[in-house]
Amino acid sequence: MEARKILDALNVAERLKDATRHCYTKNGRHESVAEHSWMMTLMAFFIKDEFPEADMDKVIKMCIIHDLGEAFTGDIPTFDKTEANEKNEEMLLNAWVNTLPENYKAEMAALFDEMSKRETIEAKIYKAIDSLEALIQHNISDLSTWIPKEFELNKTYADDKVAFSDYLKELREEVRKDTLKKLGE
């Protein structure tokens, strides 16, 4: 990629460092979208041996790019996001992706398409990681930062996303144990 194009793309992506998520860090500040994506990518790296049939480099790419649309819209928590919000984010993201050099535009568009369909093992792994990372971060954050609906949501969220994998079901169960312990149950 040409030097100017790289800088232009990074200038957009940098917005994710300041775009905060609903969740908090252990030390009590809002987590950024970039931090969420980084933690997801690290999770993909750590679980790669559990999925020898999967292209984990592709999963890592999915984790890196999955929230780029939030550079334009900011983060809207999953429990508040509407179909209209999703369409707007997709429209803004696609407009930006279309400004990229052809090979990057084609690869990114193909990844986003695969991620949205969630038919491949890679797309399923990415989506499970996305959901699990949010739960893990909630368990790391102070309970005082949780809103009322999260007390139940943290017990059940992502069960459907991990159902395809015994390993991810086991990981989800460990996350649930941490939630229950945090809640004193």
pLDDT in tens, 75-118: 998 888 999 999 999 999 999 999 999 999 999 999 999 999 99
**Predicted pLDDT of residue 139:** 97
Which pair of tokens denotes residue 85? Answer: 């919000």
Q: Model's pTM, two decimal places?
A: 0.95
**Predicted pLDDT of residue 173:** 98
Give the chain's residues under pLDDT 70. none
**Predicted pLDDT of residue 78:** 84
Q: Is 55 left (phi over 0), alpha (psi -120 to 50) or beta?
A: beta
Angle between helices 121-140 and 148-156 (to 10 degrees): 140
Instruction: Find out whether 72 and 96 touch, Cβ atoms under 8 Å.
Output: yes
Instruction: Find out whether 35 and 125 touch, Cβ atoms under 8 Å.
Output: no
**Predicted pLDDT of residue 167:** 98
